Structure 1
Amino acid sequence: MSSELEWFKSSYSSNEGGQCVEVAEATSAVLVRDSKDKSGPHLTFSPAAWEAFVEFAQSV
């Protein structure tokens, strides 16, 4: 499934290594993975849970 998705690198990620994430939107889920381990595992969130997380992260 993840090979069919269009992944976007976080705008907060740099090209210097470190903690980088990529996000992909599926029909009923938002997937998050480590940009340095594209074949590794990913986390899956409901769109509502992802929206709540993003809103919280932007508020701190």
Structure 2
Amino acid sequence: MLLRKALELMEKYSNCPDCGSDRLGNGKGTLNIDEDGFIRTCNCGFSIKINSKGEMQK
């Protein structure tokens, strides 16, 4: 994933859109960015996966 796109997504999903939590780690949520895409999860059950083309995946 391009750095610019990763930064945009990190800013957009820094707070969980469902519960507003900004916590990551220790069971509170995850953030995974690699060449294949972007994954953000939250303790409340929110999860989003976006591939390197910027498309949301299930």
The TM-score with structure 1 as length reference comes to 0.32
Q: Which has the higher helix share?
A: 1
Higher relative contact order (CA 8 A, sep 6+): 2
Asked which structure has the greater CA Rg, the reply is 1
Which structure has the highest strand share of the two?
Answer: 2
